[in-house]
């Protein structure tokens, strides 16, 4: 069994975040030692690591929980996980696209705006009716 600091190091999840996950019921409560301190098993640390990976991939906590619970069933798991990932991938692609447009708009806005101007075309554009 591992203390919370060790669980944090092994899973990559910050200590405060681990306690937050517990408060919110995102992970089950770990056992406590005689001193009242949390004691994590390898399996519990694995779950934290799983959630961390999902979050790093941009899944929401809810999605991470859903994906985690798939591990405990047997049927259709792969299809469900695949579908969730597909939906997520699509939303990632949409975000990329809208950021690209934003990039373009900013580039355009900055285009004819040199440093020495007194009347700023960039600000003018933002102010226009």
Partner DNA sequence: CTTGATCCTGTAGTTACTACAGCATTTATA
Partner DNA sequence: TATAAATGCTGTAGTAACTACAGGATCAAG
Q: Which residues bind DNA (CB under 7 A)?
A: 3-6, 8, 14-17, 19-20, 34-38, 55, 60-62
Residue 37 or 99: the one with the smaller Cβ distance to a second copy is 99
Helix residue spans in 24-57 (DSSP H): 42-56
Partner touching 1 among DNA, a second copy, none, CB below 5 to 8 Å by kind:
none
Residue 26 or 37: the one with the smaller Cβ distance to a second copy is 26
Here the tokens at position 92 are 């990632």
Among 9, 19, 37, 95, binds a second copy (CB under 8 A): 95
Instruction: Give the position of tokens 């934003």.
Output: 102
């Amino acid at each position: 069994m591992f203390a919370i600091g060790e669980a944090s190091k092994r899973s990559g999840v910050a200590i405060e975040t681990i306690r937050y996950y517990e408060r919110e019921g995102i992970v089950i409560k770990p056992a406590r030692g005689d001193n009242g301190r949390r004691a994590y098993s390898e399996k519990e640390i694995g779950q934290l690591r799983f959630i961390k990976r999902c979050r790093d991939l941009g899944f929401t906590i809810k999605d991470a929980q859903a994906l985690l619970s798939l591990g405990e069933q047997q049927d259709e798991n792969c299809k469900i996980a695949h579908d969730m990932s597909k939906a997520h991938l699509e939303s990632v692609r949409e975000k990329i696209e809208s950021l690209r447009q934003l990039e373009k708009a900013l580039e355009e806005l900055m285009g004819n705006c040199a440093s020495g101007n007194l009347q700023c075309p960039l600000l003018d554009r933002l102010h226009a009716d």
